[in-house]
Amino acid sequence: MDKSQQKKALRAQLVQRRLAMPDRLRRCEMLQRVMRIWLVNRSDTVIGAYWPIKGEFDPLPALHRWKEDGELLEEPQLRRIGLPVVDKLRGTLKFHAWFPGCPMEEDAFGIPKPKETEVIVPTLLFVPCVGYGSGGYRLGYGGGFYDRTLTALEPKPYTVGLGFTQDFVMDFEPEPHDVPLDAILNDQGVVWPIR
Ligand SMILES: Nc1nc2c(c(=O)[nH]1)N(C=O)[C@@H](CNc1ccc(C(=O)N[C@@H](CCC(=O)O)C(=O)O)cc1)CN2
Ligand SMILES: Nc1ncnc2c1ncn2[C@@H]1O[C@H](COP(=O)(O)OP(=O)(O)OP(=O)(O)O)[C@@H](O)[C@H]1O
């Protein structure tokens, strides 16, 4: 097996194991709590996230509460949540405003995306991880969308990977194009950067 086949096999294995995770509900609740506490120290008003697929953790309930918290604080600027929309030509992602009940349509991968809402520019990005390793490196589905988006975005948003404890890959070897995440949260807390 060459490197790319190995990566593909690792991805499939991680996704399978994630779909079969026995204590999913409890771990999701734990990660929701970790996210909410982590967000208290941030002053962002535009956050990018994702619509969960293939057993990914759902970041939207915690973010919706973060948005409501902002309304209670009567901040001058309304908090906003964006979901990724793939730019097929460039292979990058744009973020469109999302709110509960927002009209949605499926993208080329069959993932729901906001239908014709405004493009917003997140200063903080929650990034789904199929797997993650030390140093903030992440494994995605192999599209390279996040790497290309992060290379292109100016200024680069603060990036926070989300994954489960079991998705940590001990001997993960990053490739030259891999852009490390600024932080990683899992159901046990902040696992990167190590303090
Ligand atoms: N929830 C979610 N939304 C997201 C992403 C993501 O990782 N998670 N993306 C992040 O980029 C973008 C979509 N990228 C994707 C890229 C590939 C596949 C996929 O299903 N690929 C095939 C083949 C993989 C392979 O060649 O190994 C598969 O997994 O069956 C899905 C989404 C934008 N939206
Ligand atoms: N900045 C970049 N410019 C051009 N091509 C890139 C860039 N980043 C990644 N790629 C290409 O994208 C492909 C997939 O990369 P990789 O396997 O790291 O994806 P991934 O991080 O798992 O997926 P994703 O980011 O979509 O979740 C690679 O073949 C790589 O050459």
DSSP assignment string, 35-96: HHHHHTT---SEEE-----TT----HHHHHHHHHHHHHHT-SS--EEEEEEEETTTTEEEEE
39-70: per-residue pLDDT in tens?
999 999 999 999 999 999 999 999 999 999 99
User: Does residue 134 sit in helix, strand or coil?
Assistant: helix
pLDDT for residue 106 is more than 90: yes
Residue 179 neighbours by CB under 8 Å, 6+ apart: 146, 147, 150, 151, 159
- Rounded to the nearest angstrom, the distance between the alpha carbon of 163 and the centre of ligand 1 is 15
Position 76 confidence tier, pLDDT thresholds 50, 70, 90: confident
Question: Between vectors from CA 139 to CA 8 and to CA 133, what angle results, nearest 5°?
Answer: 120
pLDDT recorded at residue 86 = 96
Query: Are the CB atoms for 188 and 30 separated by under 8 Å?
Result: yes
pLDDT recorded at residue 74 = 83
Q: How far apart are CA 28 and CA 8, in angstroms?
A: 25
Closest atom of ligand 1 to 51 CA is 1
| Residue 47, phi then psi, degrees to nearest 5 | -120, 135
120-154: per-residue pLDDT in tens?
999 999 999 999 999 999 999 999 999 999 999 99
Q: Ligand 1 atom 34: the closest Cα is on which residue?
A: 84
- Rounded to the nearest angstrom, the distance between the alpha carbon of 128 and the centre of ligand 1 is 10
Rounded to an integer, the average pLDDT of 176-192 is 97
- Rounded to the nearest angstrom, the distance between the alpha carbon of 73 and the centre of ligand 2 is 39
Query: Are the CB atoms for 46 and 120 separated by under 8 Å?
Result: yes
Closest atom of ligand 2 to 147 CA is 8
Its pTM stands at 0.96
Q: Where are the domains of the chain?
A: 3-192
- Exposure on the CB side of residue 166, measured as CA atoms within 13 A: 19
User: Does residue 97 sit in helix, strand or coil?
Assistant: strand
Task: Identify the CATH number of the domain defined by range 3-192.
Answer: 3.40.50.10420
Token pair 């995605």: residue:
140
